[in-house]
Amino acid sequence: MSETFPSATTRPDSAIIRERQRLSFDLDADICVVGAGVAGLTVALEAARLGASVAVLEGRHVGWGASGHQLGTVMPGYNLPIGDLIARVGFEDAREIWALSRQGAEYVRSNATEQLIPGIALSEGVLEVSNVDAGDQLISRLQMLSEDFETEVEGWQVERVRDEVRTGHYFHGVYYPRAFQIDGRKYVHGLAALARRAGARIFEDTPVVSIDSSGVRKRIVTPSARLRASHVVLAGNVHLGAPLQRLSETLLPVWRYATVTAPLGERLKEAIRFQGSVMDSDGVDHFRIVNGDRLMWASPETTWAARPQRFAGAIARRIRTIFPDLGDVEIAEVFGGATGQTVHGMPQIGQLRRGLWVTSGFGRQGLNTSAMSGQLIVRSILVGDDRWRLFSPFELVWAGGPTGRIAGQLVGLWGRGASAAAGALARYRERARAQDDIRDARRLKANLQAGTRPQTRRPPAGAERGKNEGV
């Protein structure tokens, strides 16, 4: 599972800034994709590779939304915990759904090469750390991931975690050696370039005004042209707009902001040796080293939009709290992006009615899930693969409107507060145990110097007498 975050590993360059083509003429296509994010562009690329004619309609520009503002972490899994997934769909279907997420990660890896997308900067390994001392839970989770869900994982003891990430805030960890991270911005624009080369047509600054999904050929109206297609794939986010308002209302809009520090030099290497992504199990911290000596750090979520710069100070204070040896860090850049989260914690994948498809709800899901969803829909349309039905139990659910956003914000605040309290208690207990060990060592040393054995508690006299009397 990988979450969606703002990306600052690259800035727009000559490969990204290009003349945008608007749809200004009527057009027919086999498949019309609404939204030029990772999911929509995956649909376009795979359908074009299989010989279908594809038109992508994007209201602003490629990667404008969440897909263009992400940390680029790619790992298997979903926002819904495995136990809850099994309870919802059963063990066998849960295994198959999880396998699809692994395949999605491998699909991203197959595209994220320097040959296909120059400058993609792929690096290996993701470490999920715990805010509390949860060794027993770690063992059972590792067994399930490795044995039942065929995922390559390693359990890291506290000492190893703290050797790689030098802070006392984290305890045990789960290491995913096959997970990886890439430059997320370059990936989405590279995906668009691959889709164009395969024959897909991408029209930017072309919002959808209305969709008539009745009949065999669907009708899509834009401000300056009309398009007809046999299939329409809704691959947008919370910004789908008025024509798709009912679909947008099934997503809770969530904003997350990220910073990139100024160069930190050798002190960053002393604080963080791990070169992959690090995320905590409570979804509070998510960070990694970029460009050798800078730290990219994502903030907690909020259900209300704000100026990204407002979060710079809070993130700098969080970095100082977790890594006090770094001292005060200078924030060089701040980025923000909105994602759409579902009520049930799983993506929206499937057919709403004949020829009308949805691939959305990827907040807290990650690049692998977006990619997998696009593949599933194309294979169903062109090959007859019906595995998208595995996601049928996760129907469209209204997200609650403004009330849902308030509730989501309160739940997030409560969750972060509970995480902080649990972490503080775990660290207090750890210090208390360490102090007890020091006292015991001192007492033993004093007894040895005095030539006496350590005193042990004697049983009560009555108990000893009862034993001698055969009681």
Indicate whether 413 and 449 sit together in one domain: yes
Domain containing residue 291: CATH number: 3.50.50.60
Q: Domain tally for the chain?
A: 2
* Domain edge (last residue) among 399, 420, 438: 399
- Residue 10 forms part of a structural domain: no
pLDDT of 466 reads 45
In terms of average pLDDT, the best of 32-46, 388-402, 403-417 is: 32-46
Dist CA 430 CA 163 (whole Å):
17
Let me know if residue 12 belongs to a domain: no
What end-to-end distance do the CA atoms of the chain give, in Å? Answer: 61
Question: Is the domain of 414 the same as that of 388?
Answer: no
Q: For residues 384 and 34, what is the distance between their CA atoms, to the nearest angstrom?
A: 22
| 440, 338: one domain | no
φ, ψ for residue 321, nearest 5 deg: -65, -45
CA angle, 48 as apex, 47 and 51 as ends, to 5°?
A: 95
Domain edge (last residue) among 399, 425, 446 = 399
- The structure tokens listed for 453 are 């054995």
pTM: predicted TM-score of the whole model, two decimal places: 0.81
The whole-angstrom separation of Cα 40 and Cα 58 is 10
Judge whether residue 59 has pLDDT over 70: yes
Average pLDDT value for residue range 86-110:
95
From 350, 353, 47, 59, select the one nearest 212 (Cα to Cα). Answer: 353
Residue with more model confidence, 384 or 284:
384
Assess whether 389 and 426 both reside in one domain: no
User: In the prediction, which pLDDT does 403 show?
Assistant: 54
Q: What is the pLDDT of residue 215?
A: 87
Whether 104 and 368 have beta carbons less than 8 Å apart is answered as yes
Which pair of structure tokens corresponds to residue 159?
A: 């000492």
Asked whether residue 150 is assigned to any structural domain, the reply reads: yes
Residue predicted with more confidence, 469 or 269? 269
- Establish if 469 belongs to a structural domain: no
pLDDT at res. 211: 92
User: Does 405 or 367 have the greater pLDDT score?
Assistant: 367
Q: What is the mean pLDDT of residues 386-398?
A: 84
* 461 in any annotated domain: no
Do 31 and 81 share a domain, yes or no? yes
Q: 246 vs 326, which has greater pLDDT?
A: 326
Q: Is pLDDT above 60 for 77?
A: yes
Q: Tell me: do 394 and 438 sit in the same domain.
A: no
**Which run of H or E residues covers position 450?**
helix 401-450
Residue 13 belongs to a domain: no
Q: How far apart are CA 262 and CA 327, in angstroms?
A: 13
287 and 423 co-located in one domain: no
Q: Which of 43, 102, 111 lies closest to 78, judged by CA?
A: 102
d(CA 341, CA 237): 9
pLDDT score at 450:
73
| Region of poorest pLDDT, from 34-48, 85-99, 457-471 | 457-471
Q: How far apart are CA 317 and CA 285, in angstroms?
A: 12
Between 343 and 53, where is the model more confident? 53
Q: Please provide the average confidence, as pLDDT, over all residues in the chain.
A: 83
Q: Give the integer Cα–Cα distance in Å for 304 and 299.
A: 14
Q: What is the rounded distance in angstroms from the CA atom of residue 125 to the CA atom of residue 173?
A: 12
Q: CA-CA distance, 171 to 169, in Å (whole number)?
A: 7
Would residue 471 count as lying in a domain? no
* pLDDT beyond 90 at 469: no
Measured CA to CA, the distance from residue 123 to residue 127 in angstroms comes to 13
Region 452-467 average pLDDT: 49
Q: Which residues contact 190 (CB under 8 A, 6 or more apart)?
A: 111, 112, 116, 117, 120
| 18 pLDDT more than 60 | no
Note the pLDDT of residue 66: 73
pLDDT of res. 318:
92
Task: Domain of residue 437: give its range.
Answer: 408-454
How far apart (Å, rounded) are the C-alpha atoms in residues 403 and 184?
A: 32
Residue 107 pLDDT: 96
DSSP helix/strand/coil, 171 = coil
Q: Is the pLDDT of residue 49 over 60?
A: yes
**pLDDT value of residue 44:** 97
> Do 218 and 315 have their domain in common?
yes
Determine contact, residues 89/393, Cβ cutoff 8 Å: yes
Sign of the CA dihedral with 457 first, then 461, 467, and 471 last: negative
Residues 269 and 415 in one domain: no
Looking at per-residue pLDDT, the higher value among 157 and 284 belongs to 157
Which structure tokens are listed for 132?
């509390």
- Report yes or no: 290 and 333 within 8 Å, Cβ to Cβ: no
Shared domain for 88 and 182, answered yes or no, is yes
pLDDT at 463 over 70: no
The Cα–Cα gap between 235 and 375 comes to 12
User: β-strands 154-156, 201-203: how paired?
Assistant: unpaired
319 and 450 housed in the same domain: no
pLDDT in tens, 157-208: 999 999 999 999 999 999 999 999 999 889 999 999 999 999 999 999 999 9
| CA gap 386, 377 in Å, rounded | 9
Please give the share of the chain, as a percent, with pLDDT higher than 90.
55
Same domain, 440 and 318: no
The residue-averaged pLDDT of 301-329 equals 86
pLDDT at 454: 52
Q: Is residue 229 part of a domain?
A: yes
Amino acid 413: pLDDT: 42
